[in-house]
């Protein structure tokens, strides 16, 4: 029996049990995975949107078979809710667009901080998007962005009522692969629809009792928005548990604090209780914003003590 030829494709969306690839010719190919691919673990190294995979399929097959995953250059992952296992949300991405709203729902600093850590771990360039800026005054908006101004990240403030604010965002999305992530109701899908009307992504309403958004995107899906631009829309995130991060190594990934890794008196300084800590001195000198440092303490204390 002639062995089937391996072809390469990029995962553009997935449903339960099925993966849809874009082939090198631009065709969409429906695939399942070979049973032995996840023999060791059904969670580790799972296939994600953005993965480049090798698959087999001929004209007689209605569904192809994914045989292997190619190495990832970058990834966004988190700890699965309720299960101690990695959930890879997207792979081979250039930008993580951390979408948060100024109001309705209110800005969640802890979630934004955790996603900045995940971007550092996954080798992704983070961009912070503040939506619904029309719902707050300038003073409130300044308070939201203040802790992040000294970080080496772009912060884009946007409102669908002020389209002149969006050229830089369109430029980012049109060049490379971006993943859009944030809690439900912050306007991820609305923003993408506004910038690229042909996408026509389903949008949910805000639940008035909780002022939280309803889930409309149930699976991650990649959309092509320009010749060189692709965007991955993801389901709304309520919890973002960091995978493979502990009290011992959070200081290596947290924004700006990681830059002080070798500046403290103690080589393994965790920047919490230790004396002569360069991070705490930088906080006192207002080089590191106190709220950003408090965010670090919050994430640090959320982990069980390392032994």
Whether residues 294 and 179 share a domain: the answer is no
Q: Among residues 17, 45, 69, which one ends one of the domains?
A: 69
| 19 lies in some domain | yes
300, two tokens: 């640090």
pLDDT recorded at residue 299: 97
- Could you tell me the CATH number of the domain that includes residue 259? 1.10.40.50
| 90 lies in some domain | yes
pLDDT recorded at residue 60: 80
Whether residues 56 and 100 share a domain: the answer is no
Q: Among residues 179, 200, 233, which one ends one of the domains?
A: 233
* Proportion of the chain in helix, strand, coil states, percent, rounded to 5: 25, 25, 45
β-bridge mates for residue 223, sequence order = 231
Whether residues 117 and 263 share a domain: the answer is no
Q: What is the mean pLDDT of each run of 10 residues along the chain (307 residues)?
A: 79 90 93 74 72 89 90 94 86 96 94 96 96 94 96 90 77 94 87 82 47 51 92 87 94 92 87 93 96 97 74
Can you give the residue range of the structural domain that contains 42?
6-69
What is the domain count for the chain? Answer: 3
| 240 lies in some domain | no
- Could you tell me the CATH number of the domain that includes residue 35? 2.40.50.140
pLDDT recorded at residue 39: 60
pLDDT recorded at residue 223: 92
Whether residues 92 and 221 share a domain: the answer is yes
Distance CA 225, CA 199 (A): 8
| 243 lies in some domain | no
pLDDT recorded at residue 187: 84
Whether residues 84 and 151 share a domain: the answer is yes
pLDDT recorded at residue 50: 97
pLDDT recorded at residue 305: 66
- Could you tell me the CATH number of the domain that includes residue 161? 3.40.50.300
pLDDT recorded at residue 199: 80
Mention every residue, 6+ apart, whose C-beta is less than 8 A from residue 127: 95, 96, 97, 98, 153, 154, 155, 156, 172, 178
């Amino acid at each position: 029996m002639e062995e089937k030829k391996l072809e390469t494709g990029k995962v553009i969306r997935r449903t339960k049990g099925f993966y849809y690839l874009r082939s090198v010719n631009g065709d969409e190919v429906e695939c399942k995975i070979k049973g032995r691919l996840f023999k060791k673990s059904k969670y580790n190294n799972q296939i994600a949107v953005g993965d480049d995979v090798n698959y087999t399929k001929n004209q007689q097959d209605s569904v192809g078979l994914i045989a292997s995953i190619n190495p990832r250059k970058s990834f966004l992952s988190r700890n699965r809710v309720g299960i101690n296992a990695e959930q890879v949300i997207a792979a081979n991405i250039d930008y993580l667009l951390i979408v948060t709203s100024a109001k309705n729902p209110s800005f969640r600093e802890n979630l934004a901080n955790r996603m900045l850590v995940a971007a550092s771990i996954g080798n992704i360039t983070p961009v912070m998007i503040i939506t619904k800026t029309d719902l707050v005054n300038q003073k409130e908006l300044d308070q939201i962005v203040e802790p992040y101004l000294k970080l080496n990240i772009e912060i884009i403030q946007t409102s669908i009522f002020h389209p002149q604010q969006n050229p830089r965002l369109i430029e980012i999305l049109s060049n490379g692969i971006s993943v859009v992530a944030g809690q439900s109701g912050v306007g991820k899908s609305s923003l993408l629809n506004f910038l690229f009307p042909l996408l026509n992504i389903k949008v949910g309403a805000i639940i008035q009792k909780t002022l939280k958004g309803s889930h409309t995107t149930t699976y991650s899906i990649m959309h092509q928005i320009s010749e060189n631009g692709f965007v991955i829309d993801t389901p709304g995130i309520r919890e973002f548990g960091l995978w493979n991060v502990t009290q011992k190594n959070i200081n290596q990934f947290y924004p700006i604090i990681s830059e002080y890794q070798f500046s403290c008196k103690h080589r393994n300084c965790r920047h919490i209780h230790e004396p002569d800590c360069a991070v705490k001195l930088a906080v006192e000198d207002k080089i590191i914003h106190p709220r950003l440092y408090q965010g670090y303490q919050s994430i640090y204390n959320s982990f069980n003590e390392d032994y």
